[in-house]
């Protein structure tokens, strides 16, 4: 399998060289590194050009249109030619056996189309904080089904092509992971293969699951209770509607990827989920007593089972 690494850069000169060096020393080298830059104004492009001269593999530098990290990654993903594609940020450090380890997992599991590995949280100076991403998620008693981190992801090109272009309003990594989850072709490798640098310019710095500090269950509980559910409800609806469209458009290809899948059952579950989301949205226009009654009825009917159960019902009553 030909190996591509894709990277999106923007004003990343502070940490970029460390990330590039960690690709350079891989025990199994990539065949190409495709880098999309979003009109950096610092020394990023100088660093990239120097690296291109020295790299023992092909390095392709392409220009994005200055439209943000999501579009920048999509530009890189759309321009790579490998069979197996590794997604890379501009500020982390890969373990030297990352490509080799992930490559072997794909060879051992032909059904797997997307793989995500564990990572070690570090501060801006690469001091470990004593917690991996999977440890953090499990400390919240949360499902690993929601574990999404682009830089820890590798994907087969055949599957990736079905996911492009990225739908409006969705992050590129959340989208491809959702597609892989729903057609049951995602593997979680509970092995740490990278240092995950957290600093003030991270695109995901504001989320609790990516904070640069060691977290506890209480932090997660407070976040759950105090977060307004409205945005999450509309995001769920947007994602579910795009997933229905994705599966309907790609039925024939999906069956070749996973011939054990029951596509009609998955579509039925997605459509039922959209109906439940619409019922939650309708609660927003109701007075408190009516809202409470309808929310409780939805709860008794199992409408909150795909969320956080009773806690989600309470949030719908209190915050909407």
How would DSSP label each residue in 109-148?
-TT--EEEEEEEEE-TT--EEEEEHHHHHHHTT--GGG--
Q: Of 216, 239, 274, which closes a domain?
A: 216
pLDDT at 227 over 70: no
Q: Of 184, 216, 248, which closes a domain?
A: 216
pLDDT confidence of residue 240: 96
DSSP-assigned letter for residue 193: E
pLDDT for 247-284, tens place per residue? 999 999 999 999 999 999 999 999 999 999 998 888 88
pLDDT for 198-209, tens place per residue? 876 655 555 666
Q: Is residue 181 part of a domain?
A: yes
Nearest to 102 by CA among 56, 149, 153, 150: 153
Q: Do 210 and 251 have their domain in common?
A: no
Instruction: Residue 84: give its domain's CATH number.
Output: 3.90.550.10
With 0.75 as the threshold, say if the pTM is over it: yes
Helix 230-249 / helix 172-182 crossing angle, nearest 10 deg: 60
pLDDT confidence of residue 296: 84
Is pLDDT larger for residue 57 or for residue 290?
A: 57
pLDDT confidence of residue 307: 80
- Give the percent of the chain with pLDDT over 90: 71
pLDDT at 215 over 80: no
**Which pLDDT band holds residue 24 (cuts at 50, 70, 90)?**
very high
Q: Is residue 221 part of a domain?
A: no
pLDDT confidence of residue 304: 84
pLDDT for 35-45, tens place per residue? 999 999 999 99
Is pLDDT larger for residue 304 or for residue 119?
A: 119
Q: Is residue 41 part of a domain?
A: yes
pLDDT for 164-176, tens place per residue? 999 999 999 999 9
Burial 67-76 (b: 16+ CB within 10 A, else e): eebbbbbbbb
pLDDT confidence of residue 87: 99
Span of 10-19, 55-64, 142-151, 303-312 with lowest mean pLDDT: 303-312
pLDDT for 54-67, tens place per residue? 999 999 999 998 88
* Domain hosting residue 291, numbered range: 227-319
pLDDT confidence of residue 179: 98
Is pLDDT larger for residue 184 or for residue 284?
A: 184
Q: What count of other Cβ atoms lies within 10 Å of the Cβ of residue 311?
A: 14
Task: Count how many domains the chain has.
Answer: 2
pLDDT confidence of residue 202: 58
The answer to whether the beta carbons of residues 215 and 208 sit under 8 Å apart is: yes
């Amino acid at each position: 399998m030909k190996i591509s690494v894709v990277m999106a850069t923007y004003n990343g000169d502070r940490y970029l060289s460390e990330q590039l060096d960690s690709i350079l020393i891989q025990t199994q080298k990539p065949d190409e590194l495709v880098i999309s830059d979003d009109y950096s104004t610092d020394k990023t492009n100088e660093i990239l050009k120097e690296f291109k001269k020295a790299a023992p593999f092909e390095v392709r530098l392409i220009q994005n249109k200055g439209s943000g990290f999501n579009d920048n990654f999509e530009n890189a993903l759309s321009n790579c030619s490998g069979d197996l594609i590794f997604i890379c940020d501009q500020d982390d450090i890969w373990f030297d056996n990352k490509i080799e380890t992930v490559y072997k997992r794909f060879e051992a599991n032909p059904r797997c189309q997307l793989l995500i590995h564990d990572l070690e949280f570090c501060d801006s100076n690469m001091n470990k904080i004593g917690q991996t991403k999977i440890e953090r998620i499990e400390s919240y008693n949360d499902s690993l089904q929601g574990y999404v981190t682009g830089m820890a992801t590798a994907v087969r090109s055949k599957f990736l092509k079905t996911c492009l272009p990225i739908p409006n309003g969705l992050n590129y990594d959340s989208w491809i992971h959702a597609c892989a989850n729903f057609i049951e072709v995602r593997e979680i490798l509970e092995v740490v293969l990278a240092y995950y640098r957290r600093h003030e310019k991270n695109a995901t710095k504001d989320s609790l699951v990516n904070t640069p500090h060691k977290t506890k269950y209480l932090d997660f509980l407070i976040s759950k209770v105090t977060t307004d559910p409205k945005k999450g409800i509309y995001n769920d609806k947007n994602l579910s509607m795009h997933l229905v469209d994705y599966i309907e458009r790609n039925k024939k290809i999906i069956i070749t990827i996973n011939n054990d899948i029951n596509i009609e059952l998955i579509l039925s579950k997605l459509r039922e989920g959209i109906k439940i989301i619409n019922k939650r949205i309708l609660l927003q226009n109701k007075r408190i007593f009516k809202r409470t009654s309808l929310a409780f009825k939805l709860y008794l009917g199992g409408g909150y089972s795909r969320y956080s159960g009773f806690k989600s019902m309470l949030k719908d009553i209190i915050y909407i």
